[in-house]
Amino acid sequence: MGPHIYALIGPSGTGKSHRASLVAVDKGVDTIIDDGLLIYRGRIVAGRSAKREATRVKAVKRAIFDDPDHRRDIVDGLRKIMPSSVLILGTSEHMIDRIVEALELNGLSKDFIHIEEIASPDERRIAHFVRQTEGKHVIPAPTMEVRKSFSGYLVDPLRFIFRKKGRQVEVEKSIVRPTYSSLGRFYIADTVLSALVVHALTDLEDIVRVSGVVVQSTQDGVIIQVDVVLQGFLHLFEMLHVAQDAVRRQIELMTSLNVIAVHVTAKKVQNR
């Protein structure tokens, strides 16, 4: 016996993801499938978001699990968590059927919920306007989860508190927006990231100079290796931790990149 399926249906940009968490709480669902992601109890456990794709065609293919590896990742994730019910988001009943078939959920009972039932025309119009003019998308998962999957995107938390059957319920979701310039999507060269690292450490006491920076860029973020020359042995490890913190904060603040790790090595220590 597989999970019961709830399907939230509506055109793109009408606020489905924005309301997904509220619908999930109302129906007692702890698993959401939205735009290629498998979200379980607020944690992204599998998948890659269609919202990261560069074209609409690629986004649609990602959302309906056209890629075999992506599809297998979600199926394995579902088998691991074994949810009693799942909320699937889609633009039409046909799209829901495609997703259900791809994820081997055929033959299970389904309840369809249309966005018109839970959002007014004005609310849907505002959601569409924000999508078109500001490029904002909502992911029904907390910011700490989303940031790992959306390196290079601006990620802001969105929290709701409401009462459900006499108890207070808090729902957290995230707003993501690509970092665009007036000429389109911009990319940050490793040389620029290296310069930001040096700048972050310039005014730190006891760091004489930065002797080397290596930036490893990945799909999920950046890994930074920094070599420094320190002055004095007092509080050496504390100083290295301070340097780690400074680099992480500078890169995340200035670029919106997800910093996976910062490794700081004291290559030389000079006497005071």
Which stretches of the chain score pLDDT less than 70? 1, 152, 160, 162-166, 178-188, 219, 272
CB-based contact 21:146 (threshold 8 Å) = no
CB-based contact 224:263 (threshold 8 Å) = yes
Structure tokens at 144: 């700490």
Region 190-270: CATH code? 3.30.70.1350
Of 50, 255, 56, 25, nearest in space to 155 by CA: 255
3 state SS for the chain: CCCEEEEEECCCCCCHHHHHHHHHHHHCCCEEEECCEEEECCEEEEECCHHHCCCHHHHHHHHCCCCHHHHHHHHHHHHHHCCCEEEEEECCHHHHHHHHHHCCCCCCCEEEEEHHHHCCHHHHHHHHHHHHHHCCEEECCCHHHHHHHCCCEEEEEEEEEEEECCEEEEEEEEEEEECEECCEECCCCHHHHHHHHHHHHCCCCCEEEEEEEEEEEECCEEEEEEEEEEECCCCHHHHHHHHHHHHHHHHHHHHCCCEEEEEEEEEEEECC
Confidence at residue 149, expressed as pLDDT on a 0 to 100 scale? 75
Confidence at residue 70, expressed as pLDDT on a 0 to 100 scale? 96
Nearest 5°: the CA angle 64, 67, 69 is 120
**Domain residues of the chain, as ranges?**
4-184, 190-270
Confidence at residue 181, expressed as pLDDT on a 0 to 100 scale? 43
